[in-house]
Amino acid sequence: MQRTYFDHNATTRLDPSVLNVMLPFLADNYGNPSSIHWFGRDARRALDTARRHTADLIGAEPEEIVFTSGGTESDNQAILGIACLLRDRGDRIITTAIEHQAVLNSCLHLQQMGFRITFLPVDSEGRIDPSDLEHALDKDVILVSIMHANNETGTVQPLREAASIARARGVLFHTDAVQAAGRIPIDVNKLGVDLLSLSGHKIHGPKGSGALFVRRGIQPPVLIHGGHHEHGRRAGTENVPAIAGLGEACRLAKERLPETARVTGMLRERLEKGILGQINPALVNGSLESRLPNTLNVSFPGLDGQFLAINLDLMGIAVSTGSACHAESREPSYVLKAMGRSDEEASCCIRFSLGHENTVDEVDRVVAALNQVIKDLRAV
Ligand code: PLP
């Protein structure tokens, strides 16, 4: 059966060039980067190269990068770390209602420990209003955490504006850029963010790899205790193959970004036109102007999104109904609900997320298959 993968916001294929960079460190180059001998120095060089490439993707300095086990850990390190660092200064954190669970549950954990969390609302397109942030800020706020782009809808937040509001009040700003990386340009200095989370497996790198950008001068306390790894910021012998792979994935993501954006944007337009032209009713969720080029989230009123996804899977087409971390839940999407959709509207959606390897033929196949599945279901 022909297989089509339209679920790149869940994860991506390891790039062959990333695999090539990783392989020696899974075989003969097994040194510990902390060792002073040749084997160790070779591994250390791989970490240095990866740190340079990772920093380069987001306009940061290599010393500002801490390698982690992925986006989830980066979000936890950022939010819990700043809460520990600044707990004497204040007890409030501002985030949004549509964050990934890595951010939401980190905040809820802090709430149980006595912190006060404000969840900013979003409009019907999934965007925050920066003036809501302005009004929510007071002297007790120690951190603002707003995602760059949403994993379910692809909606991109007015991040620069939000970060400058926080900065004007002297409040640190974290962003989860896991979905934005490699899809839209990111520059931590132009955005004015203090902490930023990345994940390797969303950009054709290995699973279990990630990074946290921490602006120079900010020193959150260590959350994982042990040796002096990562310049004393995260203990544990570094996962050299994964970090080397992450670095190569970041290098490729930066090099390919204009082409990836062009190709996925063109395919997404075709997919959107095809669906809206052939299937009625169908409703696009998220901002039409401010969104990732690769993501399309559509509600099909009257149908169950999960049921549609399963039927497409039987035809060899991989899509999802929303977040991969939420896939086993039958609850309507909390992201769409925060955008004002009813339970029913938030349960009938499909997320298509494209990658640079997808083709026009695949888009046409998906539109035809979806049309057929929906016709069959409606006939029943
Ligand atoms: N943040 C966002 C926006 C995500 O989409 C994801 C993964 O789906 C994560 C964080 C978690 O990243 P990881 O899977 O690397 O832990």
Please name the residue ranges forming H helices in 68-216.
71-86, 101-112, 130-136, 159-168, 188-191
Sign of the four-CA dihedral 31, 35, 41, 44: positive
Residue 82 CB neighbours (<10 A):
24
Through-space distance between the first and last CA atoms of the chain, rounded to whole angstroms: 26
pLDDT of 54-71, one tens digit each?
999 999 999 999 999 999
For a mutational test of ligand 1's pocket, the pick from 79, 202, 209, i.e. the residue with the most ligand atoms closer than 8 A to its C-beta, is 202
Average pLDDT, the chain: 96
C-alpha 10 to ligand 1 mean position (Å):
8
pLDDT at 326: 52
349 is catalytic: no
pLDDT at 149: 98
The ligand 1 atom nearest the CA atom of 199? 15
pLDDT at 317: 98
Measured from CB, residues less than 6 Å from any atom of ligand 1 are 70-72, 75, 100, 102, 147, 151, 176, 178-179, 199, 201, 210, 324-325
Q: What gap in Å lies between CA 250 and CA 291, rounded to an integer? A: 21
C-alpha 100 to ligand 1 mean position (Å):
7
The pLDDT averaged over each successive group of 10 residues in the chain (380 residues) is 96 98 97 96 98 98 98 98 97 98 98 98 98 98 98 98 98 98 98 98 98 97 94 96 98 98 98 97 94 97 93 97 60 93 91 98 98 90
| Torsion angle of the four alpha carbons 180, 185, 186, 192, in this order, in degrees rounded to the nearest 10 | -120
pLDDT at 156: 98
Name the closest-CA residue to atom 13, ligand 1: 71
Q: What residues have CB less than 8 Å from 109, skipping those under 6 apart? A: 80
| Torsion angle of the four alpha carbons 85, 80, 181, 322, in this order, in degrees rounded to the nearest 10 | -160
3-state secondary structure of 221: coil
Q: Write out the two tokens for 128.
A: 């925050």
C-alpha 180 to ligand 1 mean position (Å):
11
Ramachandran quadrant class, 120 (left: phi over 0; alpha: psi -120 to 50; beta: rest): beta
For a mutational test of ligand 1's pocket, the pick from 67, 99, 199, 212, i.e. the residue with the most ligand atoms closer than 8 A to its C-beta, is 199
For a mutational test of ligand 1's pocket, the pick from 7, 54, 67, 72, i.e. the residue with the most ligand atoms closer than 8 A to its C-beta, is 72
Q: What gap in Å lies between CA 350 and CA 346, rounded to an integer? A: 10
pLDDT of 16-33, one tens digit each?
999 999 999 999 999 999
Q: What gap in Å lies between CA 32 and CA 238, rounded to an integer? A: 8
Residue among 107, 325, 348, 349 flagged as catalytic: 325
pLDDT at 379: 85
Q: Report DSSP state, residue 121.
A: -
The residue among 71, 285, 23 whose CA lies nearest residue 176 is 71
